[in-house]
Amino acid sequence: MTHFRLTPLAQALPDTVPFVGPETQERARCQLFNARLGANENVFGPSPAAASAMADTQMWKYGDPESYDLREALSDHYGILPEMIAVGEGIDGLLGYIVRLMVGPGDTVVTSDGAYPTFNYHVAGYGGVIHKVPYADDFEDIDALFAKAGEVNAKLVYLANPDNPMGTAHKGGDIEAAMKNLPKGTLLVLDEAYIECAPGGTSLPLAMDDPRVIRLRTFSKAYGLAGARVGYAMGAVDLIASFNKVRNHFGMNRAAQAGALAALDDQTWLRTVQARIAASRNRIWTMAVKHGLRPLKSATNFVTIDCKRDAVFAQKVMREMINEGVFIRMPLVAPQNRCIRISCGTPADLDILADVMPIALRAAEKSWR
């Protein structure tokens, strides 16, 4: 009999799924959710122009392996060279390429304890060593991240700004000031997935080709194309060119490229969505305060809510909401896990949330005591 032969590293890794999708939970429940408010998707959808462009794509053709048109459009949008832009399968895919390029067995990286887990997933898959620092008052601690990088000679430091799962954001100028302490030879991987949802001044005010940083952005959030998986990295020309050594050159499908191109061109739709996100955030905030909870100020398309108890209580609230047909999530690491996290929704979604939240809180309170 022939046996498959994994690498020693793969054999040693646990079976890990960074996220359990809502579809998995719906199959387990044998029932669809009434409101899908846990995956930080843009429920307001993409530009109609993007949807039309995707529908009209000649799908019998492979996608352009260079994503030429999209890179040219992004180049015009940001006023940078196309050679400073790499397109990939969402930020998750780009993180995988960065780690593959930079991290081998035993190489060190630094991240925040409880931050977006896909980065850690890729690092573990290539045998890297992960060092974590705690959040500081629900913010990723930039000074602590850079100090730890110096201690362990880290190749990469991962920072999400705005942050997931807490929704908080540092001012771009504060990150710039802190970068004087970024160790030489350490690359800052700056995840800006939610930047279009954030207030002015959140973006890092450094040249896009500063060799100390690579920025990751996406069409999954404000642009409403999460299912298409289109992300892009911006950085120094030499660093971006290195992606061609490892990337899946036919990984970007043709419809996704067309949709992203049309979405980028429709900034009027983006502004409409940004206003809807802001209105939804405000309503979730008001709802949380009404029930004695403490919402955190959000620079994203979700609101993280301090349940003002412990992790056990927060988990009970989440489970009760899921039992009532509202899909939400929560941070997994203390002390952030005293919170739940609710994505922005349509008015109809939030009507359902308004009905379910007091029911879930009462049930959680009763069983928690």
pTM of the model: 0.96
Specify if 170 maps to a domain. Answer: yes
Domain final residue, candidates 238, 265, 292: 265
Residues 257 and 108 in one domain: yes
CATH number of the CATH domain containing 105: 3.40.640.10
User: End-to-end CA distance of the chain, in Å?
Assistant: 56
Domain final residue, candidates 265, 294, 325: 265
Specify if 280 maps to a domain. Answer: yes
Q: Are 135 and 166 in contact (CB under 8 A)?
A: yes
- The residues facing 159 across adjacent strands are 190
Q: Which residue has the tokens 């100390």?
A: 212
Specify if 12 maps to a domain. Answer: no
Residue numbers of the domain that contains 155: 48-265
Please give the C-alpha separations between residue 3 and each of 6, 186, 232, 316, in angstroms, as whole numbers.
10, 41, 39, 44
Residues 6+ away with beta carbon under 8 Å from 197: 162, 221, 222, 274, 277, 299, 300, 301
CATH number of the CATH domain containing 287: 3.90.1150.10
Specify if 88 maps to a domain. Answer: yes
pLDDT of residue 4: 85
pLDDT of residue 14: 86
Specify if 337 maps to a domain. Answer: yes
Residues 135 and 246 in one domain: yes
3-state secondary structure of 87: strand
Q: How many CB atoms lie within 10 A of CB 75?
A: 16
Residues 293 and 247 in one domain: no
pLDDT of residue 367: 87
Shortest CA distance to 164 belongs to which of 138, 187, 128?
A: 138
Residues constituting the chain: 369
pLDDT of residue 18: 74
Specify if 10 maps to a domain. Answer: no
**Rounded-to-integer distance, Cα 332 and Cα 165, Å:** 9
Residues 164 and 227 in one domain: yes
| Tens digit of pLDDT at every position of the chain (369 positions) | 567 888 999 888 888 777 789 999 999 999 999 999 999 999 999 999 999 999 999 999 999 999 999 999 999 999 999 999 999 999 999 999 999 999 999 999 999 999 999 999 999 999 999 999 999 999 999 999 999 999 999 999 999 999 999 999 999 999 999 999 999 999 999 999 999 999 999 999 999 999 999 999 999 999 999 999 999 999 999 999 999 999 999 999 999 999 999 999 999 999 999 999 999 999 999 999 999 999 999 999 999 999 999 999 999 999 999 999 999 999 999 999 999 999 999 999 999 999 999 999 999 999 887
Q: How many domains does the chain have?
A: 2
* E strand or H helix that includes residue 129: strand 129-133
Specify if 3 maps to a domain. Answer: no
Q: What are phi and psi of 34, to 5 degrees?
A: -80, -30
Residues 185 and 243 in one domain: yes
Residues 256 and 131 in one domain: yes
Q: Are 97 and 88 in contact (CB under 8 A)?
A: yes
Residues 194 and 216 in one domain: yes
Residues 134 and 280 in one domain: no
pLDDT of residue 348: 98
Residues 285 and 350 in one domain: yes
Residues 291 and 261 in one domain: no
Specify if 213 maps to a domain. Answer: yes
pLDDT of residue 17: 74
Four-point Cα dihedral 351, 354, 355, 358, nearest 10: 180
Residues 217 and 165 in one domain: yes
Burial class (CB in 10 A: 0-12, 13-18, 19+), 117: middle
The token pair that represents 17 in the structure block: 């799924």
**Rounded-to-integer distance, Cα 115 and Cα 133, Å:** 10
Residues 94 and 212 in one domain: yes
pLDDT of residue 104: 96
Domain final residue, candidates 249, 265, 281: 265
pLDDT of residue 149: 98
